[in-house]
């Protein structure tokens, strides 16, 4: 298998492709997951295209996603960077946030078995458990580093203040949160903390959950039952209708830049800072080919500025999450307009 060459970026000591693959949709949350054969094809196509950063979690499919990656990627383990997450798991069919040290140690052993590896390159604390001091949770992860079970520590959906507390216990290699033209919260404080501490920022949903591809026109008709976007405010009818008006000028900028709308979204994320690594997710191998093409798109400062002005927290209708989901999120938020 001869992989294509992609630009490189750093996550702590790890050298990774500038665009990674988020694997959640291969097991859950965006309608019915693909067949095992299609899921395997997506993973192997990613390797062909030069992607070597693969992102999963114990939560995804309640372990099924890690098992998928373990089965398909074990023969290629020496050439990939494998990231997973702990602290949120499935218990009796329910999603449970549990950052107690004993839980993190047990979850790591379970993940290692499913992933069919001796060490996880980057291990994130998936969500903040407000009942457990972050120092205790990161201390347990530091023990796993010393034991050789994991190489680097990351945190997910956490604020700059929490990041600094975590980093004081053990260096944090990466922060993972949602970031795209329509989700700008990391710009409030987390980016500055990443620069200060030397942490990478891994951006999930850089295509705004497919909104910025231009392929969505009616969520109620297009989304399958079980699609998490059906419960997100920005995809509710009134908000979505308002947000659709942003896409025609966005489409025109993509045409000027000589790329697709999806590529423009990824190129914008890549252009914002060299410490950002976007991870794209898909159930379609062909969509990966389009996404990887974003690495070759060079945006002028003028285009970046126009995009910043067109789509941002002031021009997008609807909150990022509903009120129930937002309670689990530690990141900074913009003041209500």
Catalytic positions: 60
CA–CA dist 135, 156 (Å, integer): 15
User: Could you tell me which residues come within 8 angstroms of residue 301 by beta carbon, excluding any fewer than 6 positions away?
Assistant: none
The whole-angstrom separation of Cα 30 and Cα 106 is 28
Q: Where do we find the tokens 């299609």?
A: 38
Burial class of residue 92, CB neighbours in 10 A (0-12, 13-18, 19+):
exposed
The neighbouring-strand residues paired with 279 are 20, 204
Burial string for 283-313 (b: 16+ CB within 10 Å, else e) reads bebebbebbbbbbebebeeebeebbeeebbb
How many CB atoms are located within 10 Å of the residue 215 CB?
Answer: 12
Q: Which two tokens stand for residue 322?
A: 């509903």
Structure tokens at 57: 């979690």
Contacts of 332 (CB under 8 A, 6+ apart): 159, 160, 185, 188, 189, 190
Task: Point out which residues pair with 191 in neighbouring strands.
Answer: none
């Amino acid at each position: 298998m001869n992989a294509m060459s992609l630009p490189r970026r750093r996550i702590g000591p790890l050298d990774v492709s500038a665009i990674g693959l988020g694997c959640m949709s291969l097991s859950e949350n965006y309608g019915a997951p693909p067949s095992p054969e299609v899921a395997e094809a997506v993973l192997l196509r990613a390797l062909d295209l030069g992607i070597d950063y693969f992102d999963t979690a114990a939560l995804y499919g309640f372990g099924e996603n890690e098992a998928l990656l373990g089965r398909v990627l074990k023969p290629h383990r020496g050439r990939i960077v494998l990231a997973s997450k702990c602290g949120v798991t499935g218990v009796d069919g329910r999603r449970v946030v549990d950052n107690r040290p004993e839980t993190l140690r047990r979850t790591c052993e379970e993940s290692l078995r499913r992933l069919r590896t001796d060490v996880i390159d980057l291990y994130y604390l998936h969500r903040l458990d407000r009942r457990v001091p972050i120092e205790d949770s990161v201390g347990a992860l530091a023990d796993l580093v010393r034991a050789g079970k994991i190489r680097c520590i990351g945190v997910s959906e956490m604020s700059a203040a929490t990041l600094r507390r975590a980093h004081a216990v053990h260096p944090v290699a990466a922060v993972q949160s949602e970031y795209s033209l329509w989700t700008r919260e990391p710009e409030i404080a987390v980016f500055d903390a990443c620069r200060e501490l030397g942490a990478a920022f891994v951006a999930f949903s850089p295509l705004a959950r497919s909104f910025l591809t231009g392929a969505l026109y009616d969520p109620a008709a297009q989304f399958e039952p079980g699609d998490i976007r059906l419960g997100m405010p920005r995809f509710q009818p009134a908000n979505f209708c308002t947000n659709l008006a942003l896409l025609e000028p966005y489409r025109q900028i993509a045409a000027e830049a000589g790329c697709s709308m999806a590529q423009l979204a990824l190129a914008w994320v890549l252009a914002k800072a060299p410490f950002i690594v976007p991870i794209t997710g898909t159930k379609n191998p062909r969509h990966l080919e389009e996404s990887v093409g974003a690495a070759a798109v060079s945006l002028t400062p003028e285009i970046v500025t126009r995009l910043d002005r067109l789509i941002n927290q002031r021009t997008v209708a609807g909150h990022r999450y509903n009120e129930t989901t937002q309670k689990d999120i530690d990141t900074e938020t913009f003041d209500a307009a």
